[in-house]
Amino acid sequence: MTHAAPAGAERLPLKTKLAFGIGSAAEVIALYAVSSFALLYYNQVLGVPAHWIGMAISVSLVLDGLTEPVVGAWSDRTKSRLGRRHPWMYAAPVPIALTFYAIFNPPQGLDPLALTLWCGVFVSLLRQVMTFFHTPHLALGAELSPNYLERSKVMAYNSFFTWAGGSAMTWIALSYFFPSTPQYPRGLLNPEPWPTFALTMALTIVAVLFASAWFTRDRIPFLPQPAADAKSFSPAEFFADVWKALRNRNYVWLLIGYFFLSMMIGLKEGLRLYTATFYWGLSSEELRWFVIGSFVGYATAFLFAARMHGRFDKRATLVWGAIAYSLTTAAPLVAGVTGVLSSETPNLLVILIAWSALSYGSLSVLQIGAMSALADIADENELRFGVRQEGILYSTRALAAKIDQAIGSVLAGFVLLMIAFPQKATPGAVAEGVLFNLAVWDGVVAAIPGLIAALCYARYAINRQTFEETRAALVARRARTGDAAEPPPVKDAPGVAAATPAE
């Protein structure tokens, strides 16, 4: 059985939320750079067939996904003076940075097959070591507060800093590493800056991940810990933990919904730079301005997601978030294939940025809702099974997501093969029919899994009332069994809770 924390704050200090959030920024710098840039780099810069790289990245996702539940279950049962999560978070940053650097700095003279193997091996290693930080970090976020809406606020910081990390990395890359030059009007196709870009991002990743672990360490005494008689991690306990998680109906529907959503994201991430560069004809300098749209979307979700959960509850925001994300990402490309928009449309960049604000806002609301809902499911499982399973819950969700992103990455590579997209293509010289098919896949076809996800989220059944009933039952049981009962909020412990826009 998992012991409740000796004390806990309903409302957390701003410092804690910021420290938790910045960990997500570093995670996404590494993972987003791979998902967005690696296929383009190996295909268009190094000349490796797109479907080879798509398969290499997909294999890495599957292998990583298989280790996620193991790390999650193991961290749930970790006993140390640093708590359940922090030992993992301290161990991961340096290996993450080293493997990230290797991905974008392959040895000179490798043939396409060797480059594919290099990419596959080091992307796999990156994802494996990232799991040691990512899964315990997400589980930590779920444990920070027992409050229904405070959990949404914590995950709002997670979502906002996810945007901040990905956007800052993209802006810096396009502005300082891959600007347009006379020889390379599309700066991302320039082979020279990639090693320097990789080194800079790797050093940033180390610093930010360590900062997140260090500045959340003061919460360790206030977090749930395994009971003294809890069994240590073992294969038998691992499979028992997974089975407990999968017996929760709400979790299963959340998992299936996330599976379909991740398929959509994986396909779109694989095709995004191709669409922007070759279909819309945007330069590196123009691409960087999409940070405005993503900022508007994520900032709006940061401000209003928790309020939406209070007014409409989490299920409604999950459903409508999935629908809105699917439609808003498809709309510009549907307008393109029907002739409403083209690369010659006046103010095209402004129009595309406006649509991106809507799509990013929808996605962020959806992500915040899903992450917060998982913490509520952990309460249900504690009531039913007597153990808190934040690690296993977030990790099996990540397993489904990564397997599905793997499918999306393979699909993206085979879409490029199927539509005969040329290697080392020149913007403006790709056949119209090829570009039309690219837009149809990235627009219409990619939206379908997102709409299926909305149907799955509609089956999620936890609401504010059932949450409060579960929490009351947990408090009553702890009182009967002698465990620490759910305490009232602690005044200014271990820091003064500060009012923030998200609150």
pLDDT > 90? residue 20: yes
Q: List Cα–Cα distances, 163 to 12, 82, 197, 455, in angstroms.
A: 22, 29, 19, 26
Q: What gap in Å lies between CA 361 and CA 317, rounded to an integer?
A: 12
Domain-embedded: residue 487 = no
Above 90 in pLDDT, residue 374? no
For residue 395, which of 214, 233, 203, 195 has the smallest C-alpha distance? 233
- Rounded to an integer, the average pLDDT of 91-97 is 94
Q: For position 403, what pLDDT does the model report?
A: 66
Q: Is residue 169 in a domain? A: yes
Q: What count of Cα atoms within 13 Å lies in the side-chain half-sphere of residue 248?
A: 29
Q: Quick one: angle between helices 14-33 and 148-172, nearest 10? A: 40
**492 — alpha (psi -120 to 50), left (phi > 0) or beta?**
left
Q: Specify the pLDDT at position 188.
A: 83
Query: Which residues in 489-500 are b (16+ Cβ under 10 Å) and which e?
Result: beeeeeeebeee
Q: Is 501 a residue whose pLDDT tops 50?
A: no
Structural domain contains residue 501: no
Q: Rounded distance, CA 288 to CA 354, Å?
A: 14
* CATH code (residue 348): 1.20.1250.20
pLDDT tens-digit series, residues 307-327: 898 888 899 999 999 999 999
Say if 377 falls within a structural domain.
Answer: yes
304 pLDDT above the threshold of 70 = yes
pTM as predicted: 0.72
| pLDDT score recorded for residue 201 | 93
Long-range pairs of 470-473 with CB within 8 A, sequence gap ≥ 24: 470/376, 470/379, 470/380, 470/383, 471/146, 471/379, 473/383
Amino acid at 46: L
Q: Is the pLDDT at 35 greater than 90, yes or no?
A: no
Asked whether residue 424 carries a pLDDT value surpassing 80, the answer given is no
Q: Please determine, for residue 416, whether its predicted confidence score (pLDDT) is greater than 60.
A: yes
Residue 458 has pLDDT above 90, yes or no: yes
Average the pLDDT over each of 205-209, 289-293, 445-449, 491-495 and give the range with the smallest value: 491-495
pLDDT grade for 402, boundaries at 50, 70 and 90:
low
- Residue 503 in any domain: the answer is no
Q: Which pLDDT value is given to residue 91?
A: 93
Which residues span the domain enclosing 130? 8-481
State the total domains in the chain: 1
The model's pLDDT over 322-345, given as tens digits with 9 standing for 90+, comes to 999 999 999 999 999 999 998 889
Residue 486 lies in a domain: no
**DSSP assignments along 24-39, one per residue:** HHHHHHHHHHIIIIIH
Alpha carbons 265 and 449: distance in angstroms, whole number: 9
Q: What is the mean pLDDT of residues 403-419?
A: 77
Kindly tell me the sign of the dihedral angle through the C-alpha atoms of 112, 113, 114, 117: positive
- 308 vs 503: which has the higher pLDDT: 308
Query: Treating both helix axes as pointing N-terminal to C-terminal, what angle do 249-274 and 446-457 enclose, rounded to 10 degrees?
Result: 160
The verdict on residue 499 lying in a domain is no
Asked if the structure places residue 161 within a domain, the reply is yes
pLDDT tops 90 at residue 450? yes
Which residue in the block uniquely carries the two structure tokens 């596959």?
120
Cα dihedral sign, 351-356-362-368: negative
Instruction: Convert the pLDDT of each residue in 125-169 to its tens digit.
Output: 998 899 899 889 988 988 888 888 888 889 899 889 988 888 888
